[in-house]
Structures are given as structure tokens and as C-alpha cells.
Homo-oligomer: A and B are copies of this chain.
């Protein structure tokens, strides 16, 4: 168990242990990323980047079944990525806060893909 830079790495291992976030934080973080790590849910988020939408319009925008969208919205909401507001018979969903958009846009930059906001 000796790599070529033992002393330097041993120091880093110690620092890594000291700076490792608590298990609970890591799990919340993982849950957050998991929430936005499915194409069906990402499509919902990109649709909501146009603003608040009620469920049936999200269904139209993403082209999935109503029940699938509803299940996914529940997951996104539980993860704090979207919020819901009752509006008469409908429920209007929107992106929960700007960090969500920021993370998506950063990731888009990283992957050099369309951010969903060009050509508005």
C-alpha cells in the first residue's frame, strides 16, 4: 500500500477525511442530484424554465403520460427542485429557486450542450 508520493498523499487523505461533509449532507446532496438525473425529469425542468405551468401543460410539453409526470413532479418537489401552488382546479408548478437553474446551466456549459434558453 505504497504509492510513489506516500507522504504527500497521506496528507491529502487526512485532509479529505477532515473536510468530508457529514454523511447526512452527502446523502441529501446525492438525493438532490438523483432527482435531476433522469431525462424525464430534466425535460420537466426545462419546460418549467419558461415559467409556471400546470400539470396538463407539462404533460403536453414533455409528451409523457399524466401519471408518469405526476410521479416525477412528486420526486422533484420532494427534492426541493420545484414548488407547487394550487390555482383553482389546477396545480401550477415552477422551479423552486435559482440554484436549480444555475446548476442546470453550469452542467450545460460543462457538457457544451444547449441550455434550453437560447433562441427565446
Residues of A whose CB lies within 8 Å of any CB of B are 1, 3-5, 9-10, 12-13, 15-34, 36-39, 42-43, 46-47, 49-51, 53-54, 56-57, 60-61, 80, 87-90, 97, 99-100, 102-104, 106-111, 113-120
- Chain A interface, DSSP helix/strand/loop, else mixed: helix
Verify B21–A30 contact, CB threshold 8 A.
Answer: no
Verify B3–A119 contact, CB threshold 8 A.
Answer: no
Name the residue of chain B whose CB is nearest to the CB of A34: B37
Considering the chains assembled together, what is the distance between the CA atoms of A78 and B8 in angstroms?
A: 27
The complex is assembled from copies of this chain, and their number is 2
Which of A26, A28, A36, A102 gathers most chain B CB within 10 Å? A26
Verify A53–B110 contact, CB threshold 8 A.
Answer: no
Query: With A46-B21, A61-B16 in contact, is A3–B89 under 8 Å at CB?
Result: yes
Residues of chain B lying within 8 A (CB to CB) of residue A39: 23, 26-27, 30
Verify A116–B20 contact, CB threshold 8 A.
Answer: yes
Considering the chains assembled together, what is the distance between the CA atoms of A112 and B51 in angstroms?
A: 25
Name the one of B12, B20, B87 contacting A51, with C-beta atoms under 8 angstroms.
B12
